[in-house]
Structure 1
């Protein structure tokens, strides 16, 4: 079936999957560095040396070669291709159902983004758990399917949904806040820019601004989520206490720089590519 003849939700799924694939391939190293920073044992004891983004990056290249920066790319692709597709398909369907003839306001944009992310987050959580474990360097998984079987056999299927609450507390507000800032920033653009050839650049700039703000607000939940998924014996509240005891309030912002860079650039690129593709297939994003 040709894309031009497909259902609008399927078109949105295909456009979203393609945009997510491009952004994941480019920015996977930042996600790996972020995960290593959050799960590093260095800097936990008084007087121990502080681990920074640059030292982690160089350490990975030195011990795992340059391609080591893309460790976890297979589960990232397995999660991103359908996950971003599900997100944009859900977003488009919700928007068409509730706001077909009107532009969503700020509060409605938060609900649209949060609702779409809830659907995608729950469906793709098992792959997110595997991806986090691949990146942290503590597990010797060979493939995504092998990792799924290993977790189910040794820890039970429920382990694949570890960190669900922390994931939703991170992703739902991020997506809601992001869509709100992004849509409001786009709406403030002059009409001549929105309809010109420079529209992709303007959309990307709006996405960068929205991504920085949303990333900073949701950073503590991301740190908690990472600890719960790497150490499944921890509950969310226990992870919060552990991080605070070991690192203080500063611990909730470990990995903020690479995560902010990655989430901001990925979201900005994903939305820019998505909107361009949606326009190409004749649909409003």
Structure 2
């Protein structure tokens, strides 16, 4: 350590700069930043679809979760809450999706680096995607609960802080984790299946399309194919998750919520809100992966 004050200041500054360089050049940090940026774009763009999906799963007056019910709900929200009502819940969505997507991609990058050599096979892709999403899902479950209640129109929270405080005061810590099981049963398989379909679809695409000027369009198309398949498979868990997070006193267990949906709506009840969720999750995931692929190339991670 230099004895003169100026020397000590320079040394401290150089150590800080070295630490900043080490952090900003870390593959995990780069993956997190790329994922967060892609999550921001897709969240803002597709928030109306998420809100309509939640409203469809909440209401009992529209039995269909198809395009007719979706258009009716869009119109109802615009009539009653104006156009910007479609972006209700934007704040908790941003608070959930932006760090959540960043955490997912950084976790996935770490898992692939440590447990997978080269391109993952189908089973490896399912395991990697599911595990990365499980880590993210557990971490972000409190804000997921707040987001669902914001979008439903059932609760009149004025802010995210008010929502968190109200839930904790009335329901305790358990209220901020309600619906965790169906959330994981929805998100972990979705991410695992999505990554499998996405990586396997890419292996069937000529290399020049994946690396040339058409790369963004190619990645987006692969993402759409993967998203459609993964959304349909995991839709029932999304319906059950919504019920448990909106009415925690009524549905105290996962089997109880599953039984209720079947008794109330029949087997088709598990697919309420399928169309808006399929469109949103498919386009959102496709956009997130497309932006992520391009940013990671610029970061030198590809």
Q: TM-score range by the shorter chain?
A: over 0.9
In structure 1, the partner of 2:47 is 28
Cα distance 1:140–1:3, how it changes in 2: closer, same or farther (>3 A)?
A: farther
Cα distance 1:68–1:180, how it changes in 2: closer, same or farther (>3 A)?
A: same
TM-score between the two structures when normalised by the length of structure 2: 0.90
State the Cα deviation string for residues 81-115 of structure 1 (Å, max 9, x = none). 1111100000000001112x422100000011001
Instruction: Give 1:271 deviation, angstroms.
Output: 0.4
In structure 2, the partner of 1:158 is 174
In structure 2, the partner of 1:79 is 96
Given that 1:42 and 1:51 are in contact with CA atoms closer than 8 Å, whether structure 2 keeps it comes out as: no
* Aligned Cα root-mean-square deviation (Å): 1.4
Structure 2 counterpart SS, 1:237: helix
Cα distance 1:3–1:210, how it changes in 2: closer, same or farther (>3 A)?
A: farther
Given that 2:95 and 2:143 are in contact with CA atoms closer than 8 Å, whether structure 1 keeps it comes out as: yes
In structure 2, the partner of 1:227 is 243
In structure 2, the partner of 1:255 is 273
TM-score between the two structures when normalised by the length of structure 1: 0.95
The within-5 A match list for 1:92-107 is 92-99=109-116, 101-107=117-123
Instruction: Give 1:51 deviation, angstroms.
Output: 7.3
Deviating above 6 A after TM superposition, structure 1's stretches of 4 or more consecutive aligned residues are none
Instruction: Give 1:31 deviation, angstroms.
Output: 0.2
Instruction: Give 1:214 deviation, angstroms.
Output: 0.1
1:91 aligns with 2:108: yes
Given that 1:228 and 1:239 are in contact with CA atoms closer than 8 Å, whether structure 2 keeps it comes out as: yes
In structure 2, the partner of 1:12 is 31
In structure 1, the partner of 2:127 is 111
Question: Which segments of 5 or more consecutive residues in structure 1 lack a partner in the other structure?
Answer: 45-49
CA distance in 2, matches of 1:16, 1:51: 34
Given that 1:37 and 1:51 are in contact with CA atoms closer than 8 Å, whether structure 2 keeps it comes out as: no
Aligned length: 278
Given that 2:89 and 2:151 are in contact with CA atoms closer than 8 Å, whether structure 1 keeps it comes out as: yes
Instruction: Give 1:6 deviation, angstroms.
Output: 2.5
Question: Which segments of 5 or more consecutive residues in structure 2 lack a partner in the other structure?
Answer: 1-19
Instruction: Give 1:3 deviation, angstroms.
Output: 9.2
Instruction: Give 1:5 deviation, angstroms.
Output: 4.0
Picking from 171, 189, 200, the partner of 2:216 is 200
In structure 1, the partner of 2:292 is 274
Instruction: Give 1:2 deviation, angstroms.
Output: 6.0
Structure 2 counterpart SS, 1:52: helix
Structure 1 stretch 67-76 or stretch 50-59: which is displaced more?
50-59
1:236 aligns with 2:254: yes
Given that 2:37 and 2:98 are in contact with CA atoms closer than 8 Å, whether structure 1 keeps it comes out as: yes
The within-5 A match list for 1:122-137 is 122-137=138-153
